[in-house]
Amino acid sequence: MSMFDTVLVANRGEIAVRIIRTLRSLGVRSVAVFSDADADARHVREADTAVRIGPAPAAESYLSVERLLDAAARTGAQAVHPGYGFLAENAAFARACADAGLVFVGPPADAIALMGDKIRAKETVRAAGVPVVPGSSGSGLDDAELAAAAREIGTPVLLKPSAGGGGKGMRLVRDEALLADEIAAARREARASFGDDTLLVERWVESPRHIEIQVLADGHGTVVHLGERECSLQRRHQKIVEEAPSVLLDEATRAAMGEAAVQAARSCGYTGAGTVEFIVPGGDPRAYYFMEMNTRLQVEHPVTELVTGLDLVEWQLRVAAGERLPYAQDDIALTGHAVEARLCAEDPARGFLPSGGTVLRLREPHGEGVRTDSGLSEGTEVGSLYDPMLSKVIAYGPDRDTALRRLRAALAETVTLGVQTNAGFLRRLLAHPAVVAGELDTGLVEREADSLAGGGVPPEVYEAAAAVRLAALTPAGDGWTDPFAVPSGWRLGGEARPASFDLRVPGADPVRHSPAGEHTVTEDRVHVTVDGVRHSFHRAGDWLGRDGDAWQVRDHDPVAASLSGAARSGADSLTAPMPGTVTVVKAAVGDEVAAGQSLLVVEAMKMEHVIAAPHAGTVTELGVAPGTAVAMDQVLAVVAPHEDGAAQEATA
């Protein structure tokens, strides 16, 4: 079988752009698909052709097997590459492609089904001699059976969706009394993410490291591994930084884990690129346990590509086209070190809540040893419907220190004004002494999150904002200007240009002085001098950015805010912490509620956020229902406090 002429990419965003790049290098025509929300997306513009497949909700577009197959038929595609996420690990989709005469660029449907069921997967690899994490056995356990299995294992335990990955629906439970609530929440998230709420429970390994092995298999019996990736830097069970190789493994352990991964792949008749994930106790790397197998390309595949020199997307396509792997295990060598950071639409200063908006200014890093995989362009609308990951920044070097240094510098150069991201947080994380030393575990990010979030606004940001405001007040042009229109201090008695202007900053010094002439404002940059130190910012609209951090600076008019009703409810109001959709409403107007009682659930970018009552009281307003789309800071409900509670608070 020869290489395909046309391949449909059944995905969006940065992974679609990444696949299209390899298709172009192979001379293969690419077909993109898009929802109404992505009509002007970068992956649509970069493909050779593109097909609209439906409205914005994924269920009506990217998850619609019928519409994807129709797009393939209409464009003459011979194969479908699913990327990752959406239908990438959906056995029914793989079978539907085969039934339609299309090659699914991935493993056989039976292998997807087997490894996609985490319960069956553990049983299968255990039979192949691969060590597994102790946990529940059997499929389809109800809530009571799951709780009983958790109690038998002993807390802490980890609840996991059987049908999915990527941390969606995973819940760490340390308190047995919370099992019922956590099981219900995990089922909701699993059902929303994967259409299947089957759960399993596993023993939680304290101070664990997450290490995965990349495997590659052809249809002629050859299976090799391409070394490991260290994925221990996670938040809420989501990987945010990955690297290859791991500093934890010696050659003997690497070879043993690699062979275990190869056996796991053989046990399910695997072909193509896949990843076998292991949990490893930090104190004993030889005691590794199989967690799951991801039957697709991984987000973090670039670090493996950089240390092996192989294009994994290319080999997915070649294997799917029937080619043999030309490599034996001894031919695979790891050279140098690579580290990847995931850039996500989230606000570290607000507890990492999802963010959104329009990308007003974009600058993505490139240079020696630096690679950016991105789906962004200026004007991109980042909404709450899809995954929050926007791009990936990857750095390579001859050693780990060089790779980390290059990645920190690359993140400092990253600019995505208009959408709040975690770039500054990632840069600070990569400079943390434990990360620099390679002393990692999956709890490190959560422990250090507050110190790395970058709370507070530096004084020079206000200086820059004032410089922008002053420039906006200054009339443009070289001709005659009304002296009263110039913010120069001019009076009837003559010009009295001050040496400085006053800047009042709430919460900081009452008055700060910015020497005149020591600030420069252009369309996209701002330079200010504070205490003899010059600071430079990127600028777009009312956004300022520097070293990966960004601030949206707006004028605040207390009178206008009061008239608009924004302050009408004060501490009694419950507002949306992020743009998203209300999925659960547990109260009604007139209900008496207790302090801390869960009233609503808002979901954005596959993440749930519980809205609780701020105090005991009565629900006096409730303006949303399940399915309501809400903006950030929108008032959702108002809880009027009980009079006795208010009196107690007043005398406390």
Tell me the mean pLDDT in the region 160-165.
80
Note whether 94 and 111 are within 8 A (CB).
Answer: no
Same domain, 117 and 243: yes
Same domain, 386 and 300: no
pLDDT confidence of residue 607: 73
Tell me the mean pLDDT in the region 277-305.
93
Res. 102: pLDDT tops 70: yes
Range of the domain at 609: 565-651
Picking from 9, 425, 498, 26, the residue whose alpha carbon sits closest to that of residue 233 is 425
Alpha helix segments (H runs only) across 173-250: 179-194
* Domain at 192, CATH number: 3.30.1490.20
* Domain at 603, CATH number: 2.40.50.100
Is position 93 within any domain?
yes
Same domain, 343 and 385: yes
Is position 607 within any domain?
yes
pLDDT confidence of residue 282: 79
Res. 170: pLDDT tops 50: yes
pLDDT confidence of residue 470: 82
Same domain, 328 and 361: no
Query: Which one of 159, 185, 203 terminates a domain?
Result: 203
Confidence of residue 651 (pLDDT cuts 50, 70, 90): very low
Q: Which amino acid is at 140?
A: G
Note whether 257 and 278 are within 8 A (CB).
Answer: yes
Look at phi and psi of residue 138 and say left if phi exceeds 0, alpha if psi is from -120 to 50, else beta.
Answer: left
Same domain, 362 and 438: yes
Q: What are phi and psi of 593, to 5 degrees?
A: -125, 155
Read off the DSSP letter of residue 570. Answer: G
Confidence of residue 568 (pLDDT cuts 50, 70, 90): very low
**Strand 357-358 to strand 353-354: parallel, antiparallel, or no bridges (unpaired)?**
unpaired
Beta partners for 277? 212, 292
Q: Which amino acid is at 588?
A: A
Same domain, 159 and 58: no
Same domain, 86 and 195: no
Tell me how many domains the chain contains. Answer: 6
Is position 486 within any domain?
no
Confidence of residue 647 (pLDDT cuts 50, 70, 90): very low
* Domain at 84, CATH number: 3.40.50.20
Same domain, 123 and 235: yes
Is position 483 within any domain?
no
Query: Which one of 453, 488, 515 terminates a domain?
Result: 453
Read off the DSSP letter of residue 505. Answer: -
Note whether 169 and 144 are within 8 A (CB).
Answer: no
Query: Which runs of E-coded beta strand occur in 190-288?
Result: 199-203, 208-217, 223-235, 238-244, 272-281
pTM here is: 0.83
Is position 368 within any domain?
yes
DSSP result, 29-56 = EEEEEEEGGGTT-HHHHHSSEEEEEESS
Is position 493 within any domain?
no
pLDDT digits (tens, 9 = 90+) for 327-336: 999 999 999 9
Place of tokens 């790049």: 21
Note whether 290 and 276 are within 8 A (CB).
Answer: yes
Helix (H) or strand (E) holding 536: strand 533-540
Same domain, 324 and 229: yes
Helices 312-320, 13-26: axis angle to 10 degrees equals 70
pLDDT digits (tens, 9 = 90+) for 539-559: 999 999 999 999 998 776 666
Picking from 533, 377, 392, the residue whose alpha carbon sits closest to that of residue 15 is 392
Average pLDDT, the chain: 89
Query: Which one of 313, 335, 357 terminates a domain?
Result: 335
Confidence of residue 261 (pLDDT cuts 50, 70, 90): very high
Picking from 364, 360, 369, 379, the residue whose alpha carbon sits closest to that of residue 423 is 364
* Domain at 384, CATH number: 3.30.470.20
Task: For Cα atoms 479, 485, 488, give the angle at the middle one, nearest 5 degrees.
Answer: 95
Is position 545 within any domain?
yes
pLDDT confidence of residue 536: 97
Report the distance separating Cα 362 and Cα 485, nearest Å.
34
Same domain, 197 and 216: no
Is position 488 within any domain?
no
Same domain, 371 and 418: yes
Instruction: Give the list of residues 6+ apart from residue 520 with CB closer than 8 angstroms, or none.
Output: 467, 526, 527
Place of tokens 């940059």: 525
pLDDT digits (tens, 9 = 90+) for 4-29: 999 999 999 999 999 999 999 999 99
Same domain, 297 and 343: no
